[in-house]
């Protein structure tokens, strides 16, 4: 499968010369399976540019997986051009545990007085699939989910195809158990042996002194989890909105230093918008 990042920023989109390397758009990941199915994870502001590309390609069938309903994961949806085309067939999947049905969540994102177009007025054929924490298939991709440890809940995803696996866990606090979240050991199991793991790595230890309980992880804890799970590569994700490129670089360097010191062969990198990885 091919994985492309269209947004790796956390909480709110940002712009400016300090953010050029890792990008300012919020969560959106494009996955194209070996069999050609298009799976998009989250509709943060990054989905706008992806939608522009898809419009040119005339892509019709789109599977959209939502992790949860926080604004930074939904706010690009009204600007996703395929929803305004009647030829588009969009299946939206989400965890019902996000306190509401999947349709209702998107309806709220597109309703007066917050947005001038109602979800019911868009032309695309959109269907909604509240999957809870069930496993399911999209073409030849097996999808498994795990509840996130995050305020207002959500789902993490594991995508497997032809013996390759990509695990996506954002907005997940590893060292604080939110209601309905899981334990650290459960996340280790979920990520076990993955070829690629993207995990929320928003905070430094220093940040965490005043951000505990906010639903995000310290990158050092994520590094431990990834090594324990034996993943081949770790992508640090959900960069804090106030973290400039040079600071993200330093976090990446620190991770690489620790990995080398521990004699691990795991690759570590900070996920940047535009990055493409083939598994
Ligand atoms: Zn977020
Ligand atoms: Zn969130």
For 75, the token pair is: 């706010």
Q: What is the pTM of this model?
A: 0.97
Coil, helix or strand for 107? helix
Residue 262 Cα to ligand 1 middle (Å): 30
Residue 149 Cα to ligand 2 middle (Å): 10
pLDDT digits (tens, 9 = 90+) for 198-209: 999 999 999 999
Residue 70 Cα to ligand 1 middle (Å): 6
Domain borders along the chain are 2-278
pLDDT of residue 101: 84
Taking Cα atoms as reference points, which of 110, 99, 108, 111 lies closest to residue 147?
99
d(CA 156, CA 100): 17
Residue 107 Cα to ligand 2 middle (Å): 18
Spatial contact of 202 and 10, defined as CB atoms under 8 Å apart:
yes
Nearest ligand to the C-alpha atom of residue 202: 1
DSSP letters for 204-235: -HHHHTTTTTSS--BHHHHHHHHHHHT-SEEE
Nearest ligand to the C-alpha atom of residue 43: 1
Residue 87 Cα to ligand 2 middle (Å): 31
Residue 162 Cα to ligand 2 middle (Å): 31
Taking Cα atoms as reference points, which of 140, 233, 217 lies closest to residue 177?
217
Report the percentage of the chain scoring pLDDT > 70. Answer: 98
For 212, the token pair is: 């505990």
pLDDT digits (tens, 9 = 90+) for 31-71: 999 999 999 999 999 999 999 999 999 888 999 999 999 99
d(CA 165, CA 197): 9
pLDDT of residue 131: 79
pLDDT band at 99 (very low <50, low <70, confident <90, very high): low
Residue 170 Cα to ligand 2 middle (Å): 8
The answer on pLDDT for 98 being more than 70 is no
Q: Where are the beta strands (DSSP E) in the chain?
A: 2-7, 28-32, 38-41, 61-65, 89-94, 125-130, 136-138, 141-147, 155-161, 164-169, 196-200, 233-237, 267-270, 276-278
Nearest ligand to the C-alpha atom of residue 42: 1
pLDDT digits (tens, 9 = 90+) for 48-59: 999 999 999 988
Residue 42 Cα to ligand 1 middle (Å): 10
Residue 35 Cα to ligand 2 middle (Å): 31
Residue 176 Cα to ligand 2 middle (Å): 14
pLDDT band at 140 (very low <50, low <70, confident <90, very high): very high
Residue 57 Cα to ligand 2 middle (Å): 31
Between residues 165 and 103, the one the model is more confident about:
165
Spatial contact of 42 and 29, defined as CB atoms under 8 Å apart:
yes
Nearest ligand to the C-alpha atom of residue 238: 1
d(CA 13, CA 45): 7
Residue 53 Cα to ligand 1 middle (Å): 24
Residue 153 Cα to ligand 1 middle (Å): 11
Nearest ligand to the C-alpha atom of residue 152: 2
Residue 238 Cα to ligand 1 middle (Å): 7
Residue 171 Cα to ligand 2 middle (Å): 5
- Homologous superfamily (CATH) of 2-278 is Ribonuclease Z/Hydroxyacylglutathione hydrolase-like (3.60.15.10)
Residue 90 Cα to ligand 1 middle (Å): 23
């Amino acid at each position: 499968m091919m994985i492309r990042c269209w947004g790796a920023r956390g909480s709110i989109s940002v712009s400016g010369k300090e953010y050029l390397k890792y990008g300012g758009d919020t969560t959106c990941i494009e996955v194209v399976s070996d069999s050609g199915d298009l799976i998009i994870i989250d509709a943060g502001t990054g989905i706008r540019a992806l939608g522009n590309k898809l419009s040119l390609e005339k892509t019709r069938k789109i599977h959209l997986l939502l992790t949860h309903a926080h604004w930074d994961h939904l706010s690009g949806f009204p600007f996703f051009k395929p929803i305004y085309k009647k030829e588009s067939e969009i299946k939206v999947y989400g965890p019902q545990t996000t306190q509401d049905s999947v349709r209702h969540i998107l309806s709220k994102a597109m309703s007066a007085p917050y947005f001038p177009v109602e979800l019911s007025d868009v032309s695309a054929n959109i269907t909604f699939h509240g999957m809870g924490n069930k496993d399911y298939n999209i073409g030849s991709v097996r999808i498994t989910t795990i509840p996130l440890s995050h305020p207002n809940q959500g789902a993490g995803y594991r995508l497997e195809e032809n013996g390759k696996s990509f695990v996506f866990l954002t907005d997940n606090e590893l060292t604080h158990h939110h209601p309905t979240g899981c334990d650290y050991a459960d996340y280790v199991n979920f990520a076990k042996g993955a070829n690629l793991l993207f995990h929320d790595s928003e905070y430094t230890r220093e940040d965490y002194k005043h951000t505990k309980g906010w639903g995000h992880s310290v990158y050092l804890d994520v590094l431990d989890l990834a090594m324990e799970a034996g993943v081949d590569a770790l992508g640090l994700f959900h960069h804090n909105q106030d973290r400039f490129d040079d600071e993200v670089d330093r976090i990446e360097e620190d991770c690489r230093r620790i990995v080398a010191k521990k004699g691990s062969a795991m690759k570590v990198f900070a996920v940047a918008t535009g990055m493409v990885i083939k598994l």
